[in-house]
Chains A and B, each alone.
Chain A
């Protein structure tokens, strides 16, 4: 097994295959509703993986990743509608839409990255926050094209007949979503281990030194934004397919903050952490809400707790994890399994800029 230890690509390919097998096995046994939840998980994982790549791997905070998802989602919706209007169908239609969605979002991400390349710390956070809040407004303004709050339908072909008549739509959605997530994880994992990943971490940890070594800091940052945006765009496209609509309400500030929570709680910078975080965010919420329902309180109290207790728990977890457990769930797992730290740490080691209070 020396080849496995030496070859990153083979190792990741093996994980990918295991992942595919796991997905097929799980979705075959789950009920329709659970497959529906799994599809949501897949969409979140795509975007969260991108976010952890950007924020953990490159040190750029993004509070507006839902806006990037929106770009992907709406692109897919528009393309699928055009295809459907012209009667185009076939198994390649949806992958093409998703791919185009990814590319468009990557371009948008690169564009924003160019604008944001000079920004650091809170200024970058502010700019991404403004982006996250502003982008859905475009759908209201051009409501003739984007159908405003109502949103766009996402028509897509059901499962191919070769899979049998018992293969439900929810099962198919789970497959699309989870396979997309596996692909994103695979690609980002390889990127992390490559020169690109090393450059990104170098810029994150020691910006000036990296520049002195000949790295073009803005170029690395823009690339990071573009890649992260591509992942988010795919997540958004899958999200639109899952909900069968693309509307501004799906891609609001709450989603951006949820993605950030997932990524931090799971372990910033770690792709496995992104998966744990998304699992938590998707399943813990329903788990808590259902326990609340079981308590049998008055209708008013149940409603208040049902909607809010999950958020309160996430928020608390977020604070506790970032203050006490900086490695998140993945960090905790690593310590419990007594594993060596990976080569090339994925955790940010230092802040990049910290203007001192005394000198400004």
Chain B
């Protein structure tokens, strides 16, 4: 007898659903092409001749201006190293995923890198709000999370997040050094802050108040990267009579702040965090107004000035940029990417021929790494923070010039210490020792 319609329908629907899902599952597992190396449990992503690394970057979205060049620069340096034989005979591949500076996308893309691509380690994942979203996941899955591209203190929690390491100078440290400069050069003036509405902005403002004094910031304005109308905040700063504004902004928003202030006929002394002060990037927005708007602006640098062609590191990176990065305009972002790639290669080498996740972490925590930085790294078993200081630079005529001593300090209330050791020269071969 014929099966009743309803039962037939149920059966067909159930089979259809299961079939559809199985098909898609099979289909999507076939698609893992060349960028998915396998390995054993302690070293996924490592084979006898390759290492697979992953990173999440804002290739699009509000933080892309400037930052989108970092991953290309990293890849360029890795290509340079691969041409010279790689690290212990292994060539490095970097899988770059675009998260558009949106933490929701970061969560998805990071899972793709870890669960599907099965990378050996994450390197240089960019962004404070973005990477904070995946800290738990990455550490739960025991993936080495090296050199997060952000100055938040969240990356320096060795007991809670043992897999995660910072690299650049903390925003709190930056804030302390900037605040110290303000105390010495702009005493008595009203100081305010303009920062991103997350740990980036709050850490920076906190650092400034550690040296200038609690409550010394008269007005603390914030912005969200998804809202480009900053006129209300700049207007509020002007109304509060702020004469010095410390800004912890990504480059796009530094440009917006400077431009909006100019429109409002408001000319405070700008003190800009390193991450938002790259002149070439700002020129992309402000064009001819760049030089006048940045005149006298104060910022800080913990690596050589990108335009200083007499520096051995800049020479090395410019050579790599020419040959492996299509000779794009060389700026702070390219320098950042290559310097980070250099540190990555250093620790990979140090981890040895028998490369495992454990040996990689040990290599970082061993410390003693040198590089283009003006200050040393602070890596150790109990410190995952990265560079520990910075130096003030002032912008005149569209060019930044380092001034004053190099300072190191912690991200609590220790005083600033001068660091007088000269930075190391770049190795002749271009590869870490």
Contacts and interface: CB of A to CB of B under 8 A. Distances in A.
B1 interface: no
Interface in B207-225: 222, 224-225
Contacts of B6: 4-5, 11
Contact of B14 (A1, A18, A303, A333): A18
B187 interface: no
A149 B33 contact: no
Interface in B13-33: 13-14, 16-18, 20-22, 24-25, 27-29, 31, 33
Contact of A149 (B9, B105, B108, B129): B129
Contacts of A290: 28, 31
B115 A140 contact: no
Contact of A148 (B25, B28, B108, B197): B197
A30 interface: yes
A316 interface: no
Contacts, number: 122
B426 to A, nearest CB: 29
The winner among B27, B98, B102, B133 for most chain A CB atoms within 10 A is B133
B133 A247 contact: yes
B262 interface: no
B112 to A, nearest CB: 7
Contacts of A340: 5
Contact of B128 (A150, A248, A250): A150
Nearest to A37: B28
Interface string A279-299: 100010011001001100000
A161 to B, nearest CB: 16
Given A34-B25, A244-B136, A249-B102, A275 B17 contact: yes
Nearest to B23: A283
A148 B225 CA distance: 10
Interface string A65-88: 000000000000000000000000
B265 interface: no
Contacts of A293: 31, 33
Contacts of A303: 59, 98
Nearest to B13: A272
A216 interface: no
Contacts of A247: 102-104, 129, 133
Contacts of A22: 14, 17-18
Contacts of B59: 303
B129 to A, nearest CB: 4
A33 interface: yes
B111 interface: yes
Contacts of A244: 107, 133-134, 136-137
B136 A153 contact: yes
Interface string A232-257: 00000000000111011110000000
A290 B27 CA distance: 10
A283 B28 CA distance: 9
Given A143-B197, A245-B107, A272-B13, A150 B115 contact: no
A34 B137 contact: no
Interface in B190-248: 197-199, 222, 224-227
B4 A1 contact: yes
Contacts of A333: 16
A339 interface: yes
A239 B28 CA distance: 22
A26 B104 contact: no
B133 A150 contact: yes
B13 A148 contact: no
B115 A170 contact: yes
Interface in A176-224: none
A15 B14 CA distance: 9
A243 B132 CA distance: 12
Contact of B133 (A1, A34, A170, A245): A245
Report which residue of A34, A149, A151, A294 has the largest number of chain B beta carbons within 10 angstroms of its beta carbon. Answer: A149
A120 interface: no
18 contacts: A11-B6, A26-B22, A30-B25, A33-B111, A34-B29, A143-B222, A148-B224, A149-B103, A150-B128, A150-B199, A153-B136, A155-B136, A245-B107, A249-B102, A250-B107, A290-B28, A333-B16, A339-B5
The 4 closest A-B pairs by CB, nearest first: A250-B104, A150-B129, A249-B102, A33-B115
Given A149-B225, A150-B129, A244-B134, 19 more contacts: A26-B18, A34-B29, A36-B111, A140-B226, A140-B227, A143-B224, A148-B222, A149-B129, A150-B128, A150-B199, A153-B136, A243-B104, A244-B107, A244-B137, A247-B102, A249-B102, A250-B107, A279-B20, A307-B60
